[in-house]
Amino acid sequence: WLLDFIRIRSGISLSTDSAYLLDSRLSPMIESLGLHGPEELVSLLRNPRSEVLRVQVLERMTTHETRFFRDLSPFEALGSRILPALARRAGASPLRAWCAACSTGQEPYSVAMVAEESRPSLGKVAVQVVATDISGKVVDRAASGIFSPLEVTKGLSSERLARHFEREGRHWRVRAELRRQVEFHQHNLVMESPPRGGFDVIFCRNVLIYFDRPTREAILERLLGALSPEGFLFLGSTEAPDSGSNRFKRVPDGAGGWCYRRLDAPPLEQAA
């Protein structure tokens, strides 16, 4: 019952041998509620008025592994080629990026840092970053922009730390001007439509691996609908649209990696 509940509500597809994962993530909750086992938890979750508890269970079952500038290639391509080319054709319109399943915020803040550092190539074109995650708790934490000493050592150079962060007690906080470029929202990638408006760049990395094939295809269809005609979609290094898909084409990102575009998207030089 728990496996079906998690799959239906979040799209996360766990196998029947995932008892160890359920136990490790839900046992602390079962204990804190004073329950005697998972059967009592399931009994509570079946109650239609238990939505708060249902959300808590989903948050515990969601993986939030992330780091700044994870798999560096997409960010190098974004700053050196993609944003400057898109800015040349944007006119007065801002460029929009969406980081789906953003976890605690390292990815969207990395995108915002790249945009800020690329400012000489972008002119007056603004870059707006929308970041979403299924966990409201995680979204709130990401919006605060506060990171531990350990978190800022993962993927963040000392130069970027000094430029984009400031000390706050023992922790580090993203500077206010950078935080203002990122808008955080709670969003269920499986059950909800994408945020409004087209996006020039979409990051949805290391997410699809948790879903079964029909769910992956449905999510990719939503991402395609949210992608601008000349936009770029970054997936995880082990993720790709179905081999039979005729909606996407894989293109080199110019920094040693790959990204995806609409099948009819023009070459980057033409997009400029």
Active-site positions?
25, 133
Q: How many CB atoms lie within 10 A of CB 127?
A: 24
Q: In what order do the strands lie in the sheet with 165-168?
A: 146-147, 171-174, 165-168
Angle at 183 between CA 177 and CA 186, to 5 degrees: 150
Of 234, 236, 68, give the one whose Cα is nearest residue 142.
Answer: 68
With beta carbons less than 8 A apart as the criterion, state whether 143 and 105 touch. yes
Six-digit token pair at 129?
Answer: 């970053």
Helix (H, G, I), strand (E, B), or coil: what is residue 197? coil
Q: Tell me the two tokens of residue 93.
A: 């319109």
What one-letter code names the amino acid at 259?
A: C
Cα–Cα distance for residue pair 263/28, rounded to 1 Å: 47
Q: Which residues contact 30 (CB under 8 A, 6 or more apart)?
A: 37, 38, 40, 41
* CA dist list (Å): 119 to 53, 115, 127, 170, 177: 44, 6, 10, 31, 14
Of 188, 234, 226, the C-alpha closest to 7 is 188
Task: Supply the DSSP symbol for 118.
Answer: T
d(CA 174, CA 161): 9
